[in-house]
Structure 1
Amino acid sequence: MLVLKKIRKQFDGKVVLNGIDVEIANGEIVSMLGPSGSGKTTLLNIILGLTSMDSGTIIFNDKDISKLSMKERGFNIVFQDYALFPNLNAYKNIIYGVKNRPDLISKEELDGLIDFLELEPHLSKQISQLSGGQKQRVALARTLATKPKILLLDEPLSALDGVIKETIKDRIKAITREYHLTTIIVTHDPEEALTMSDKVLIIDQGKVSQFGTPNQVIHQPQNNFVEEFILRQLRIKRDNIYNLFEGCHA
């Protein structure tokens, strides 16, 4: 279990996170949802160990990891832009983090991961030759090859659309089930959060507005912000889809 206790962070005198208390069970998919500037990305970076917190405690599997480095924590992240190396082909990108660590993952495990993500036909391709969905799968494979204790995803679907987005969404859910991997996702899209996650953490102005199942968020919003934010964002998305459809038939 990952337990966050009274996490607080400020930048230049502005409070970004103010007393975050959350418990995430092993194997759960949790989406962190909120408007721009709400603090969700800062919280993701604090969990990763990339950003220090001003106060609070992080417990993982009954151990206080608050002062451990990012490497010592053993978590890993797939960034929004994938952060792939353009001078390396897909396979070399995948093995980049483990090429000097033969003890970390066996060839059989690596081959199984590549097969699971259906990447075998693309291993020799340069990154520029891959589609958005293929790049996302390569980034996931590279991260999973390091056997992270927790998988962190920063806006994993933002650069994708249509069938590709739904495919990657299903793939992420399948990965967490296959590897029983606790997964934390940052997203600005309520539809993504509600359809991908076991729990949704909604953050507003650095505080937890609600933490619950998608069903609880939809049918039992804890305050006006949750209700208005979810409905407003879904309405905007619906209207954008409608306008796009109308434009295609104008």
Structure 2
Amino acid sequence: MLKLQNVSKQFGEKVVLKDINLEINTGEIVSLLGQSGSGKTTLLNIILGLTKMDHGKIIFNDRDMSHVSMKNRGFNIVFQDYALFPNLNAYENIVYGLKNKKGLVTEEELQEYIDFLELKPHLTKKIGELSGGQKQRVALARTLVMKPKILLLDEPLSALDGVIKESIKQRIQSIAREFKLTTIIVTHDPEEALTLSDKILIINDGSISQFGTPKDIIHQPSNEFVKEFILKQLQIKRNNIYNIFGENYA
């Protein structure tokens, strides 16, 4: 569905991405995982069309999107800070993008998204009255009503914790399954990536260190960087990983 071919990007003298090749299938959840400055956010912005790449191609459903504008790609993003309008209530935020897209969704479809994300009790609340998890759900609903071809999420769980974090994680998985929506997530947290994604792209210094399923990465790390980053550098509790993937990781 989505193919990246030899995608490269440089800012001044700094090479941020080097020959990124990637294929993502319809409905998959793929996390872009890496340290701060690794290039993962730049890659997300290139896919979105917000940042221009220096070299390479982006192919979506056999169409070359490399020079298609962000507006015309039909990929939508939920930003890390949600980017909601504080002067509008939750419902007004959800439907804001539909003002210039008359007929994009029916009233029945709109209510389906609202019900799916359990937002009906909160529609008249101003953004400042919502919890972090409720804001995230409003941001997701606002994006879903635009019927994106690909859903992009920038650190969607970073401002959340505990039960709310797990709830939003389940919502994201449900959205991808229910709407067969390809979802690409930027995260710096290996535990999030391992428990949320179908596949993980680990980026180190602008290059791909490994691309595979969570089990592949846990049981067959491609190099020492992957092994160190996943289980040591960010100090993930081994028990959390063992509970999911077993105790065969050495």
C-alpha separation in 2, matches of 1:238 and 1:221? 17
CA distance in 1, matches of 2:121, 2:236: 35
Superposed CA deviations along residues 77-122 of structure 1, whole A, max 9, x for unmatched, are: 0000000000000000000001332321110000010000000000
Query: Match of 1:7?
Result: 7
| CA contact 2:38–2:205 (8 Å) conserved in 1 | yes
The reply on whether 1:134 has 2:163 as its aligned counterpart is no
- Verify: 1:76 aligned to 2:76, yes or no: yes
Tell me by how many angstroms 1:13 deviates. Answer: 1.3
Question: In structure 2, what is the equivalent of residue 51 of structure 1?
Answer: 51
- In structure 1, the partner of 2:202 is 202
Where does residue 30 of structure 1 map in the other structure? 30
Cα drift, residue 141 of structure 1: 0.2
Segment of structure 1 superposing worse, 225-234 or 116-125 = 225-234
Two-structure CA RMSD over aligned residues (Å): 1.2
2:114 maps to: 114
Q: Match of 1:146?
A: 146
- The answer to whether the Cα contact below 8 Å between 1:190 and 1:233 also exists between their aligned partners in 2 is no
3-state secondary structure, aligned to 2:17: strand
Check if 1:40 corresponds to 2:40: yes
Report the 3-state secondary structure (helix = DSSP H, G, I; strand = E; otherwise coil) of the residue aligned with 1:7. Answer: strand
Answer yes or no: is 1:101 the counterpart of 2:101: yes
Contact preservation (8 Å) 1:4, 1:20: yes
In the alignment, does 2:168 pair up with 1:164? no
Q: State the distance in 1 between where 2:143 and 2:89 align.
A: 16
Q: Structure 1: how far apart are the matches of 2:215 and 2:233?
A: 17
CA distance in structure 1 between the partners assigned to 2:100 and 2:64 by the alignment = 29
TM superposition shift of 1:12: 1.3
Secondary structure, aligned partner of 1:186: strand
Listed as ranges, the gaps of 5+ residues in structure 1 are 240-250
Aligned partner of 1:60 in structure 2 is 60
Quote the Cα distance in structure 2 between the aligned partners of 1:48 and 1:39: 14
Contact 2:110-2:145 within 8 A present in 1 as well: yes
For residues 158-199 of structure 1, give each alpha carbon's deviation from its aligned partner in whole angstroms, at most 9, with x where no partner exists. Answer: 000000000000000000000000000000000000000000
Q: Which amino acid aligns with 1:199?
A: K
What's the secondary structure of 1:104's corresponding residue? coil
Query: What is the CA-CA distance between 1:238 and the residue it aligns to?
Result: 3.6
Contact 2:8 2:19 in 1 (8 A): yes
In the alignment, the residues of structure 2 paired with residue 162 and residue 138 of structure 1 have an alpha-carbon distance, to the nearest angstrom, of 19
Q: Deviations over 1:118-144 (max 9, x none)?
A: 000000000000000000000000000
Report if the CA contact (8 A) 2:230-2:236 is conserved.
Answer: no
Q: Is the 8 A contact 1:189 1:233 kept in 2?
A: no
Q: Which whole-Å deviations, capped at 9, do the CAs of 1:34-71 have from their partners, x for residues lacking one?
A: 01100000000000000000000000000100000001
Separation in structure 1 between the aligned mates of residue 77 and residue 150 of structure 2, nearest angstrom? 9
Post-superposition offset of 1:233: 4.1
- What is the one-letter code of the residue matched to 1:157? L
Normalization by structure 2: what TM-score?
A: 0.94
How far apart in 1 are the matches of 2:14 and 2:101?
42
Matched residue count? 239
Question: 1:221 is matched with which residue?
Answer: 221
Matched residues, percent identical? 72
- Give the Cα–Cα distance (whole angstroms) in 2 for the partners of residues 93 and 220 of structure 1: 44
Tell me the secondary structure at the aligned position of residue 97 of structure 1: helix
- Preserved contact between residue 90 and residue 122 of structure 1 (Cα < 8 Å): yes
Q: Secondary structure at the match of 1:133?
A: helix
Give 3-state SS (helix, strand or coil) of 1:35's partner: coil
Gapped regions of structure 2 (runs ≥ 5): 239-250
